[in-house]
Amino acid sequence: MSAARQASTYPALVQDLADRGLLTARWRRVFEAVPRSRFVPERAWRQLPDRCVPVREADEWLALVNSDEPVVTQLDDGVEGGPGIATSSNSMPSMTARMLGLLQVEDGSRVLEVGTGTGYVAALLCERLGDDLVHSVELDAVVAAQAAEALAQAGYRPHLRVGDGEHPWPGLGPVDRLIATCALRYVPYALLRQVRPGGIVVAPLARTFWSGALVQLEVREDGTAVGPFCGGATYMPMRSHRVPDLHEVRGKGRARAAGLDPVRLLDLGFALYAGARLPGVRLIHQDTADGARVWVTREDGAAATAATGEEVWQYGPGLLWEEIEHVWWEYESAGRPDADQFGLTVTSRGQEVWLREPSEVVRPARG
């Protein structure tokens, strides 16, 4: 989701974020004090919908860094000659601003960031809270070393660790706030135990059915966490949470007229609902001139593909497209709720999506 909004200078970018209501006066001062360019290495790529393209010229680099777009800083986990998939980046500034706003830090808040990346978010947190209250963990040692260098050059010394942020930071003790800047398929319960009761967790979630959404959770006395979804968010996944490829499709295709334009499945509210009703169903899509083409698969070999204005093809056992249409009609009967009416509860037993109230859990359609 690369935004088209461009800003030619960093102050203009910060002004743009403030004009869009994404920065409080305090965060505005923090962003102004921490130029993004100090945290973007020379070697960078622009993220296009289907690939990353290298940024070759200095003026192109500067324009990208001063725009509201993500800047990709590593491909293929740093392995040369790979397929060119972004594995580390300096996130889209408006997304960073939204997440930091949702984190609701106060003076004295002790924060843990999962996914140091370029170090920019850690620097913003240091500028806001002071170095000693900021902790950031990065899985990739090369990325972590670059971030440590950039942070030191800019005068910040947060607590940094190279390790897997899916697990608690040994010996750290409880923090007041946790921000994940890589997407999770589920919120690991072990991570919640790193946050004190009353603390806040902000993370992008990306499950198999849909593209991604931010969630803001408050940790309760009993260690569970509850809170709302807060709009869409596309982040690169935590390494161990990468979504598997489409499942293998079995059997011959059967065509039928579509009772639903596949473009409707891409509404985030529906995606949250359907993801909870049809766990394990994987959906990917591509925009087309008329709307969208979608592919859905399930591990039992059931699959379907549909494009706006065309017939639907279903494969394998069962009738997956019909199940999806059924879930769509349920969603419609529920009043087509927007994404912000959904929320999430995380307990030691797993996580549940709910609609409007934590007690109104959206349960799987099967079993």
Ligand X SMILES: C[S@@+](CC[C@H](N)C(=O)[O-])C[C@H]1O[C@@H](n2cnc3c(N)ncnc32)[C@H](O)[C@@H]1O
Neighbours of 320 (CB within 10 A): 22
**Residue 91 is a catalytic residue:** yes
The number of CA neighbours under 13 Å toward the Cβ of 118 is 28
Q: 161: which strand partners?
A: 137
Is there binding between residue 165 and ligand X (CB under 6 A)? yes
Choosing from 65, 75, 121, 217, the residue that interacts with ligand X (CB under 6 A) is: 121
Contact in structure between 204 and 212 (CB atoms under 8 Å): yes
Q: 134: which strand partners?
A: 111
Nearer to ligand X, 72 or 320 (CB): 72
Burial (CB count <10 Å: 0-12, 13-18, 19+), residue 286? exposed
Separation in Å, CA 185 to CA 149, 213, 228: 30, 11, 16
Q: Rounded to whole angstroms, how far apart are CA atoms 356 and 60?
A: 45
Smallest separation, CB 39 to ligand X (Å)? 6
Is there binding between residue 278 and ligand X (CB under 6 A)? no
Smallest separation, CB 56 to ligand X (Å)? 21
Q: Rounded to whole angstroms, how far apart are CA atoms 129 and 105?
A: 8
Nearer to ligand X, 195 or 274 (CB): 195
Choosing from 67, 181, 216, 341, the residue that interacts with ligand X (CB under 6 A) is: 181
Smallest separation, CB 154 to ligand X (Å)? 12
Smallest separation, CB 118 to ligand X (Å)? 4
Q: Rounded to whole angstroms, how far apart are CA atoms 269 and 102?
A: 20
Residues of this chain, 131-150, that bind ligand X according to CB under 6 A: 137-140, 143
**For 39-49, b where at least 16 C-beta lie within 10 A, e where not — what string?**
bbbeebbbbee
Smallest separation, CB 204 to ligand X (Å)? 9
Bridge-based pairing state of the strands 86-90 and 71-75: antiparallel
* CB-based contacts of 157, cutoff 8 Å, min separation 6: 126, 131, 151
Of the listed 67, 88, 91, 109, which one is catalytic? 91
Choosing from 132, 149, 164, 248, the residue that interacts with ligand X (CB under 6 A) is: 164
Interface pattern 187-216 for ligand X (x via CB under 6 A): ------------------------------
Smallest separation, CB 163 to ligand X (Å)? 7
Is there binding between residue 115 and ligand X (CB under 6 A)? yes
Segment interacting with ligand X (CB under 6 A) among 5-13, 61-69, 83-91, 205-213: 83-91
Nearer to ligand X, 135 or 282 (CB): 135
Nearer to ligand X, 203 or 355 (CB): 203
Burial (CB count <10 Å: 0-12, 13-18, 19+), residue 252? exposed
Nearer to ligand X, 127 or 138 (CB): 138
List residues with catalytic annotation: 91
